[in-house]
Structure 1
Amino acid sequence: MTNLNTSAPILVTGATGYIASWVIKNLLEQGHTVHATVRDLNKTHSFQHLTDIAAKSTGNLQLFQANLLEEGAFDAAMQGCEIVLHMASPFVVTNYKDAVKDIIEPAVIGTENVLNSVNRTASVKRVVVTSSIAATYGDAIDILNTANNRFDESHWNTSSSPEHQPYPYSKVAAERKAWEMAKAQNRWDLVCINPALVLGPSLTKNTQSGSVEVLLQFANGMTLAGVPAMWNGIVDVRDVADAHIQAAFNPAAEGRYIISGGTLSLLEMGKILAQHFGRKYPFPRNQLPKFAFKAFGPLLGFSRKFVELNMGYPIYFNAEKSQRELGMHYRNIETSLVEHFQQLIDDGIVKKR
């Protein structure tokens, strides 16, 4: 990649997102000009935290309105930018009506629209896309097909579909679309960031992330009877933000990067929280037998097929490429978990006990 003009503005799509907010904070504090897109400029409460951060930093924040599904919506925000961080994506795992229209199309068409804008914007030299480790595997049982019992950047999710695991399918479909469009031209290069389940402090109470849903289940008693034997790769949100910025500015960065600080089971997560917060909250104390979870899992939105393919298979991720090429030093994921739960209490999302 040719040298970047670090004084050129940097575009961040989906600016109010959990990870994107940290990326923007870091960029502003480093003195950069950030072009940030939001869905609605009239909803000032959704991005007030960003304007507050900008006011205290040496950088400059310019907000633009853009809809993922609208062709050309990102053209104005992209003008003059050499780096584009495409972080906007729908996060819908449950409570959807039509998987294709509600989850898959917004992810794929949104990526296509942003990259079409990149193709029309001559100044852009590098694009960083926020993907997911869900693009590297579909079901936990896939770990049995890995050479070293760890997923790495060479692995792709080939088992998800619009009918089975539509959210992971949307992530791999969107990433594949990005690589397809990157390879069809030679002006800009592409780097994809594939984070594990993201935990750690949020810069706003309005955060919507999958990790919040998991922690709320620990707090509301849903998991008191026990949790399924399932594992998550976990990473601190600040590490994910750092990885995006390293991928943006490091000329040698290329390809995909798994961003993961380690693996914890749901039961291990419950035990860590219980050690810190005591038994004031109904944290899980045991794992459920597979047959039991198969019986009532469908009532919680987990199909029997999902339980069969994901329960009882510990999963691990190889993040050595990110450490070697992006200089990543991962925070302790147990600390991230405790900090995140404490913030939910402080913000009133979890009732203080």
Structure 2
Amino acid sequence: MSQENTSAPILVTGATGYIASWVIRKLLEQGYTVHATVRDLNKKQSFAHLEKIAQENSGILKLFKANLLENGSFDEAMQDCEIVLHMASPFVVTNYKDAVKDIIEPAVLGTENVLNSVNKTESVKRVIVTSSIASTYGDAIDILETQANQFDESHWNTTSSTTHQPYPYSKVMAERKAWEMADAQDRWTLVCVNPALVLGPSLTASTQSGSVEVLEQFANGMTLFGVPPMWNGIVDVRDVADAHILAAFNENASGRYIISGGSLSLLEMGKILRQHFGQKFPFPRNQVPKKIFKLFGPTFGYSRDFIEKNMGYPVVFNADKSKRELGITYRNIENSLVEHFQQLLDDGVVKKYI
């Protein structure tokens, strides 16, 4: 399927999400008709930015209500679509009561319900599922098991569970469900996009993402006395959006794609922010040794098991497949970090210091 030969609408689930909003913007700018699902059509403020983008571009935006946990909920929105971008997923890493009910079931059942609708909708030819690098590994120590000391698309998270790292477990179980359902039929093709920690400007001030939580901790003083020796793969949100669209329209795209512009430690992130914003914020200056975290980590919510398996192991992701097959040239992740923090300042998410 090439970009030129589809006039059919394109479905994007979870339309108000951080990445999904960028995908919708890019599609509308290119003149496509987008069917976008939201949980509540009465919460107009949550999708006002999308309606504004639609007004300013040649593409057409049609909004539909859909619930991940309701089978058949996506049928109406999917009608006549040839491409489905399934981007809706719960993002709950902390503050959950029941990991299975709050994180894992919504992710897996949501994927199953969307793909059940795909199986009923004859027009659909390709499905893009937003997965995560969390689907390729569970703990940083897993990198010691890789041949080239880096994770690639051949790796799967086999160490997470309902009780240990439930959020990564939800991502790998949802992706496995998607591949299981794709392999059971031959009408539509599946591509999975596996982004690293996503940074960069949001199209709305109300965006929820794991990166916002990290940057808020940098700004509120929680990390002033030091950060653990931990690393993140990082990628710009605009590159992730491009990856989805390229995977949708490139008929040779197949399988999984790690989307990562590089890796930074928490300390490196703090140094980059201090270089740009100066001394006005309590950015971390030190890296706390792992043995110290073992003593005090549990009081901050880090289990000793988590500390042992995730601190002190730099993680690296091989994104060569995405460069080679999708043609992605990654943005500078340091710039993405600075842009993201500046936006949090502008939006009042983090407090300005004088």
**Matched residues in 1 for 2:2 and 2:325: separation?**
18
Q: Match of 2:333?
A: 333
1:229-251: CA deviations, max 9, x gaps?
00000000000000000000000
Structure 2 residues not aligned, in runs of 5+: none
Could you say what secondary structure the match of 1:111 adopts? helix
**Matched residues in 2 for 1:203 and 1:152: separation?**
30
In the TM superposition, what is the alpha-carbon distance from 1:155 to its structure 2 partner?
0.2
TM, length-normalised to structure 2: 0.99
Could you say what secondary structure the match of 2:225 adopts? coil
In the TM superposition, what is the alpha-carbon distance from 1:2 to its structure 2 partner?
8.9
Contact 1:84 1:128 in 2 (8 A): yes
**Matched residues in 2 for 1:262 and 1:333: separation?**
7
Contact 1:3 1:251 in 2 (8 A): no
Q: Match of 1:58?
A: 58
What does 1:27-38 correspond to in 2, within 5 Å? Answer: 27-38=27-38
Q: Match of 2:259?
A: 259
Residue identity matched to 1:329: T
**Matched residues in 2 for 1:250 and 1:109: separation?**
28
In the TM superposition, what is the alpha-carbon distance from 1:68 to its structure 2 partner?
0.2
Contact 2:22 2:238 in 1 (8 A): yes
For the aligned residues, what is the CA RMSD? 1.0
Q: Match of 2:174?
A: 174
Q: Match of 2:323?
A: 323
Structure 1 residues not aligned, in runs of 5+: none
CA distance change for structure 1 residues 315 and 3 in 2, over 3 Å: closer, same or farther? closer
Q: How many residues align?
A: 353
Identity %, equivalent residues: 80
TM, length-normalised to structure 1: 0.99
Counterpart check, 1:284 vs 2:284: yes
In the TM superposition, what is the alpha-carbon distance from 1:294 to its structure 2 partner?
1.8
Residue identity matched to 2:328: M
In the TM superposition, what is the alpha-carbon distance from 1:84 to its structure 2 partner?
0.1
**Matched residues in 1 for 2:297 and 2:177: separation?**
33
**Matched residues in 2 for 1:200 and 1:182: separation?**
32
**Matched residues in 2 for 1:331 and 1:286: separation?**
27
What does 1:2-13 correspond to in 2, within 5 Å? Answer: 5-13=5-13
Counterpart check, 1:135 vs 2:135: yes
Q: Match of 1:296?
A: 296
**Matched residues in 2 for 1:87 and 1:295: separation?**
39
**Matched residues in 2 for 1:4 and 1:298: separation?**
55
**Matched residues in 2 for 1:347 and 1:191: separation?**
34
In the TM superposition, what is the alpha-carbon distance from 1:19 to its structure 2 partner?
0.1
Contact 2:15 2:88 in 1 (8 A): yes
Counterpart check, 1:227 vs 2:227: yes
**Matched residues in 2 for 1:299 and 1:98: separation?**
21
The worse-fitting range, judged by mean Cα deviation, of 291-300 and 43-52 is 291-300
Residue identity matched to 1:203: L
Q: Match of 2:49?
A: 49
Contact 1:32 1:60 in 2 (8 A): yes
Q: Match of 1:103?
A: 103
1:11-34: CA deviations, max 9, x gaps?
000000000000000000000000
1:274-294: CA deviations, max 9, x gaps?
000011100000100112212
In the TM superposition, what is the alpha-carbon distance from 1:300 to its structure 2 partner?
2.3
The runs of 4+ residues in structure 1 deviating greater than 3 Å are 1-5
**Matched residues in 2 for 1:72 and 1:5: separation?**
28
What does 1:7-22 correspond to in 2, within 5 Å? Answer: 7-22=7-22
Residue identity matched to 1:36: A
CA distance change for structure 1 residues 19 and 3 in 2, over 3 Å: closer, same or farther? closer
**Matched residues in 2 for 1:199 and 1:334: separation?**
10
Q: Match of 1:125?
A: 125
Q: Match of 1:273?
A: 273
**Matched residues in 1 for 2:99 and 2:317: separation?**
27
Could you say what secondary structure the match of 1:94 adopts? coil
In the TM superposition, what is the alpha-carbon distance from 1:5 to its structure 2 partner?
4.1
What does 1:154-165 correspond to in 2, within 5 Å? Answer: 154-165=154-165
In the TM superposition, what is the alpha-carbon distance from 1:295 to its structure 2 partner?
2.3
1:87-127: CA deviations, max 9, x gaps?
00000000000000000000000000000000000000000
Q: Match of 2:84?
A: 84
**Matched residues in 1 for 2:4 and 2:114: separation?**
20
Q: Match of 1:309?
A: 309
Could you say what secondary structure the match of 1:263 adopts? strand
Could you say what secondary structure the match of 1:240 adopts? helix
Could you say what secondary structure the match of 1:92 adopts? coil
**Matched residues in 2 for 1:34 and 1:300: separation?**
43
